[in-house]
Amino acid sequence: MKIEPTLENKALLIHVNFHAAEKIEDLEEFKLLVQSSGLIPHHVIQTTRQNPTAKYFIGTGKLDEIKELLNHDPVFVVLVNHNLSPAQSRNLEAVLGCRVIDRTELILDIFAQRARTFEGMLQVELAQLKHLSSRLVRGWTHLERQKGGIGMRGPGESQLETDRRLIKKRIATINARLDKVAEQRNQNRRARQNHRTLCVALVGYTNAGKSTLFNRLTRSKVYVANQLFATLDPTSRQCYIPELGNIILIDTVGFIRHLPPDLINAFKATLEETLQADLLLHVIDRNDPLHQEHKETVLAIIQELGAGNLPILEVYNKLDLLTDAVAETQFDENNKPIRVQLSSQSGEGMPLLYGALENLLDNSVE
């Protein structure tokens, strides 16, 4: 269904092409992120810079151009594909006269829209509050410094103090609730471990096709969509592997480069369980020109989550979209499967995946 552009969903996107490789973001991914949040990329403004400017992130020439554009074709919100300092956000909002949201806030917003479980909602709120408090704290230290010189309490200062205290209190409440949920989950896990059921977790970059594969393997119907972060809360189901029997399969949230650290922390708890799996199935969209970079991102996050030592089987997915590839299994020098090339959508290559899982998991049964 095509959504009509209105003043409630039109967005102006700002994307800066930096020279330094580690700062580069992907414009196509940004557009998909924006659409995933329910907004329409109405204007896309690109500019090239060596470094961001301290005041507005972009140069004043570009800023004037955007202001001019918005004067005769206004939008609901301005989205920036990079992280802004609190001052940069404020300055941009003041000049452009509309809300400005940076990359972290956009991802947090999508997560907030997607969270369905109690735990997921708490985790997203926690990440949002932490993000917010980091901004308040920075504003606060700035005021504190001023106070020393003037010797008076600034007008906004006590409000900031109150806000900060409220946020702190709310964070403590959420943490306590999350601890309770985690305890419950631990009990469930112990029960499962008693039954010695093997557990496989699907991990991978967002939109790689994890949920599609999950549905095919477990004959379920979890949400699949061509949008980023379609899945947020981990889902687990039983799944029958021929020659091996039933295992537990877990579908998880997708990763993205420069995932806000607050979100990684917030999802550590749910992912922790995932990362106690016997095997990780790393789903890779082989049709995405950036799949190598995405693979590195995912491996780095897995490492950061403390699961770098788990065995991984790579699934090169979306084979149906490729003309130069066939369904096949690749093996390492010890004849252990390391990669299966298949299509979760058409099902081509699935018997190879069953074979590889059997091979890898059979050895992990004592």
Ligand X SMILES: Nc1nc2c(ncn2[C@@H]2O[C@H](COP(=O)(O)OP(=O)(O)OP(=O)(O)O)[C@@H](O)[C@H]2O)c(=O)[nH]1
Residues at the contact surface with Mg ion, assessed by CB under 5 A: 210-211, 230-231
Q: Is 240 helix (H, G, I), strand (E, B) or coil?
A: strand
- Asked if residue 34 lies in contact with residue 2, where contact means CB atoms within 8 angstroms, the answer is no
Q: Which residues pair with 295 in a beta bridge?
A: none
List interacting residues with ligand X (CB under 6 A).
204, 206-212, 224-226, 228-231, 254, 317-318, 320-321, 343-345
- Residue 206 touches which of ligand X, Mg ion, none (Cβ within 5-8 Å per kind): ligand X
- What is the Cα 126 distance to its own chain's centre? 15
User: Angle formed by the axes of helices 103-114 and 118-150, to 10°?
Assistant: 150
- Nearest distance, CB of residue 323 and ligand X, angstroms: 13
Nearer to ligand X, 90 or 237 (CB): 237
Strand-by-strand arrangement of the 235-241 sheet: 235-241, 245-251, 199-204, 279-285, 312-317, 337-341, 328-331
Nearer to ligand X, 12 or 107 (CB): 107
- Residue 218 touches which of Mg ion, ligand X, none (Cβ within 5-8 Å per kind): none
Nearer to ligand X, 81 or 317 (CB): 317
- Residue 329 touches which of Mg ion, ligand X, none (Cβ within 5-8 Å per kind): none
Nearer to ligand X, 82 or 318 (CB): 318
- Nearest distance, CB of residue 239 and ligand X, angstroms: 16
- Nearest distance, CB of residue 74 and Mg ion, angstroms: 35
Distance CA 244, CA 359 (A): 9
Nearer to Mg ion, 76 or 205 (CB): 205
Distance CA 284, CA 332 (A): 18
- Nearest distance, CB of residue 65 and ligand X, angstroms: 34
Distance CA 96, CA 102 (A): 15
- Residue 229 touches which of ligand X, Mg ion, none (Cβ within 5-8 Å per kind): ligand X
